[in-house]
Amino acid sequence: MRIHRIASALALASLALVAASPAAATRPAATMEQPAPARAGAPGGDAGLRVAADRAGLRIGTAVDTTALADDAPYREATAREFNSVTPENVMKWQLVEPVQGTYDWAAADGLVDFARANGQKVRGHTLVWHSQNPSWLTEEAFTPAELRALLRKHIIDEVSHFKGRVYHWDVTNEIFNDDGTWRDTIWLRNLGPGYVADAFRWAHQADPRAKLYLNDYNNEGVNAKSDAYHRLVKELKAQRVPVHGYGVQGHLAVQYGVPGDTLTNLRRFEALGLESALTEVDVRMPLPTDPIKVQAQVSGFNSLLQACLLARRCVSYTLWGFTDRYSWVPGVFSGEGSATPLDEDLVRKPAYYAMRDTLTLAGR
């Protein structure tokens, strides 16, 4: 791990800490109410994303690396100051909460939920049903379909019950379709058929009827084969009275692939089916080294997804998949790529940070 630069640590420490204030629940309410007086500088001053998002009635979130949260004080301070929502980057995934069959370990996730509560932040739960980051006892054992269904049911009910009332959104399913709109071949599809999705939402709803339940995926920002598959699925689930409430758009963009231009159109067609929506994992990576055009393209990526969310009627939150390059998942997964978050490794703000803050400030006027 890199040694933190003293200068940037001091710069961060000198920023006024913003008192926790819950965001307005919906945008219309925010526009009707008088905005709260600025605590950390007027618009254009040094207030963070959170202040601007509170005024705009939007939940602004980040994925949280809980090891960094424990070990890195400037990271911890920025997590509290800049965001009114958090998502565990890993610690609510099945592999982490039940590494040994029948033995739950909630400690890391509980710690984050406690942090969020202390800082007036909402928690997005991520994720209940996925093909990845499952415990090896689950994927390597030869369970029968009936056994797997019972295990999935128990996992969902136990986890949602454990966090009942403390997690307001759940990414119930994650990445269930391929980019061409066909069903992804997973342990769940192979053994249970596509009905596992309806089952999962029903079980989650049974365990916490107040939590908003989301479908979540990547490459589903705009109108395309994958989002078409979601649109068809939501119609079917609604016809079967399945409790599905939200369409989650991860928003992992890369400057070399361009920015999807029809995110707003897509969010609106899900709203028309009665869903709310959320940007759940936004980052905008680039082939390294960076240059001014890539940096400019990154601004467009972050800002266009944020604008779409603010222009949609029921897009309730916008979450970054990490806010600093220091802990970003990108370099470890996309070879030769990086610089995917709005703050660099020393927590220095990039143009994308200021662009998002300006957009949120405009939205809150």
Amino acid at 168: Y
Give whichever of 89 and 325 is closer to ligand XIL, judged by the CB atom.
89
Please give the Cα distance from 207 to 170 (Å, whole number).
12
Helix, strand, coil % in the chain, rounded to nearest 5: 45, 20, 40
Give whichever of 21 and 90 is closer to ligand XIL, judged by the CB atom.
90
Of 159, 175, 221, 276, the catalytic one is 175
Of 98, 159, 221, 281, the catalytic one is 281
Q: CB atoms < 10 A from the CB of 207, how many? A: 19
Give whichever of 278 and 355 is closer to ligand XIL, judged by the CB atom.
278
Q: How many helices (H) and strands (E) does the chain have?
A: 16, 10
User: Catalytic: 175?
Assistant: yes
**Could you tell me the smallest distance in angstroms from the CB atom of residue 327 to ligand XIL?**
9
Query: Which residue's Cβ lies closest to ligand XIL?
Result: 329
Residue identified by tokens 């390059």 is 325
**Could you tell me the smallest distance in angstroms from the CB atom of residue 89 to ligand XIL?**
5
Determine the distance from the C-alpha atom of residue 43 to the mean position of all C-alpha atoms in its chain, rounded to a whole number: 26
**Could you tell me the smallest distance in angstroms from the CB atom of residue 130 to ligand XIL?**
7
Residues that bind ligand XIL (CB under 6 A): 89-90, 174, 250, 281, 329
Give whichever of 250 and 266 is closer to ligand XIL, judged by the CB atom.
250
**Could you tell me the smallest distance in angstroms from the CB atom of residue 299 to ligand XIL?**
22
The answer for residues whose C-beta is within 8 angstroms of residue 243's C-beta and 6 or more apart is 201, 202, 204, 205, 213
User: Catalytic: 159?
Assistant: no
Task: List the catalytic residues.
Answer: 175, 281
